[in-house]
Amino acid sequence: VFANVPAAPADPLFSLIAAYKADTFDKKVDLGIGAYRTDEAKPWVLPVVKKADAIIRDDPDLDHEYLPIAGLSSFTSAAARLIFGDDSPALAQKRVVSIQAISGTGALHTGAKFFSKFYPRPQNQKVYLSNPTWGNHVQIFENVGLPTTYYPYYHPATRGLDFEGLTNALRNADEGSIFVLHACAHNPTGVDPTHEQWEKIADIMAEKKLFPFFDCAYQGFASGSLDEDAWAVRHFVKKGFELCIAQSFSKNLGLYNERVGCYHFVSPPLADADVPAGDLCDVSMRIKSQLAIIQRSEISNPPAYGARIGDIVLNDPALFAEWKQNLETMAGRIILMRKLLVEKLKELGTPGDWSHVTKQIGMFSFTGLTEKQVMRLREEAHIYMTKNGRISMAGLNSRNVEYFARAVDKVVRE
Ligand code: PMP
């Protein structure tokens, strides 16, 4: 019956990792995968995560029973406070539904599935994704039957934001269109709107009645500050939007394979008289019941280990403070690598203006290298990056940054 199933293309990023692993050259450089590396090019288990892990292991009452369908509530409520802020009007009005998810990807899927079932799209309204965006976004939405399209985002000439293109797209989209917005540290470009630009984006979205669907995969990882990286989301909440957020803890807790995340849905502001005494307002309760059905049918209940780690780190004041230091370590090393790379390129007199590397933020930099240059770097220098010229800044360190700069210098000149 399935004899004619066509072969799907391999995932480009995971194929890149395989090619890197198979390369035996001793100076090879991995700038592909979006995972943090130390200055020794090693994965980093956050010290605070080690402490939380020890607490879990020392707990004589630890068992392996199922979690509730919506996940570990002490974790999901702390995750909500983390993104919305302790003083969030949405939390105060009990109009935030939070459901544990299989990391950011699972949270995006939960949201997409909920939209496919309940979001009214009388004009076949689309899901707008930034051009470019994280490679998985298209299939996550398309897989549940939601059509996608792109809004302009990156301006190749300035290697910055195409603000005019973006705002024009907002103005021209059908009312009710869904816009997926990267909350901070845009992947793959590393280009984020400024606060003033976010304010303008929010104003137009409110006027045009567009739905903000935030993807937040790098809170604390971009600037090193959890609050700064949540600024855009909090601004939209303050403005009274109905919105949702897919929240990942892969990067900021370094828990990539534990799949720990959350999907949050924020309902519109309530009149004071309608704020419930109980846990959640009426509409949030109904939304939560539907999200629970989706969760139950797809994974039944979420995995516990990563959520327990998050629960301990987010709820223990001393560990929370230590986590912030760990985040500063990661963000700080990446920011330093941006500076070092630009310095080396300047020293070499490499043609071009490389200031975008230090202006961009988060895990990635969109270098502006062409596909041909990327392929030459792979073949001649054993440097691995995605074809669009994106580099994972965490793959650079004090030992390989000069090697990388020299290789770039060479391919840019020829
Ligand atoms: N969104 C974006 C923009 C990402 O970069 C990532 C990770 N690469 C994710 C979501 C989801 O990652 P995860 O499922 O590991 O949390």
Measured in Å, residue 246 CA sits from the centre of ligand 1 at: 9
Sign of CA dihedral 84, 87, 93, 94: positive
Active site residues: 134, 215, 251
Q: Is the CB of 250 under 6 A from ligand 1?
A: yes
Give, using CA atoms, the residue closest to atom 7 of ligand 1.
Answer: 217
CA distance 371 to 389: 7
Mutate to test the pocket of ligand 1, among 11, 133, 136 (most ligand atoms within 8 A of CB): 136
> Would the CATH topology of 12-44+332-413 be identical to that of 73-315?
no
Q: What is the model's pLDDT at position 340?
A: 96
Helix, strand, coil in percent for the chain, rounding step 5: 45, 15, 40
pLDDT band at 14 (very low <50, low <70, confident <90, very high): confident
Measured in Å, residue 56 CA sits from the centre of ligand 1 at: 26
Q: Where are the domains of the chain?
A: 12-44+332-413, 73-315
Range name among 78-87, 216-225, 286-295, 296-305 with the lowest pLDDT average: 216-225
| H helix runs in 360-399, sequence order | 371-381
Q: What is the model's pLDDT at position 33?
A: 81
Closest C-alpha among 293, 104, 288, 139 to residue 214: 104
ipTM for the complex? Answer: 0.99
Token reading at 313: 């780190």
Measured in Å, residue 250 CA sits from the centre of ligand 1 at: 8
Phi, psi of 258 (to 5 degrees): -90, -15
CA distance 341 to 346: 9
pLDDT tens-digit series, residues 168-188: 999 999 999 999 999 999 999
Other beta carbons within 10 angstroms of residue 58's beta carbon come to: 8
CATH architecture for residues 73-315: 3-Layer(aba) Sandwich (3.40)
Question: Which listed CATH number (3.90.1150.10, 3.40.50.11240, 3.30.310.50, 3.40.50.300) goes with 12-44+332-413?
Answer: 3.90.1150.10
Mutate to test the pocket of ligand 1, among 134, 138, 221 (most ligand atoms within 8 A of CB): 134
Name the DSSP class of 187: T
